[in-house]
Amino acid sequence: MRPLTPRQAERRRRRAIKDAYKWQQYEDARLQEEKTEAFLRELAENERRWQAVSEELEKYFLDVELREQERNNGLAGCAALNLIIATLYYLGNRGKTFSGPACYFYLSLIVMLGLGYRCATDQQPPLSTWGNLFFAAFLTLFFLLIAYGLRRLFT
């Protein structure tokens, strides 16, 4: 083999540098593409995890709201029974304005109005504030009339 002339050697050297540069660019692009694909896979996995967590939290919140609504309805039922008992007791033992039966009756009215309002706020679709107050007053009046009717029926 004949030795290369300086010009040929320079050309080969430049060509080798150019090829090495192109190869390095190709490798960099390939590595960047791999990194991007790995990042997108990780992003998709994180999105699936967050979606699962979000669904779990939504189920938990719905369960908590349902339990709270059941508790509120149970408390309102107890308050209604208490109001009926207090009304019957008050009608049977009329006395002074601030006697024991009267205060028991007033307190039962206040509790029934409060729990009736609380139950009204749980209604779907939600009512306005005045709608909630009307609902609570209607419930209270309804149970007062039941107690008054029972009193009139049995006396």
- Residue whose C-alpha is closest to residue 147's, from 91, 103, 77, 100: 91
What is the maximal distance between C-alpha atoms in the chain? 134
Residue spans of alpha helices (H) in the chain: 6-92, 100-121, 129-154
131-150 burial code (b ≥16 CB/10 A, e <16): ebeebbeebbeebbeebeee
User: What integer pLDDT is reported at residue 149 of this predicted model?
Assistant: 80
User: What integer pLDDT is reported at residue 99 of this predicted model?
Assistant: 74
Please report where in the chains the tokens 């669904």 appear, as a residue: 55
pTM of the model: 0.54
Per-residue pLDDT of 64-119, as tens digits, reads 988 988 888 888 888 888 888 888 887 777 777 677 777 888 888 888 888 878 77
Chain centre distance of CA 34:
40
Per-residue pLDDT of 116-150, as tens digits, reads 787 777 776 777 777 777 877 887 888 788 888 87
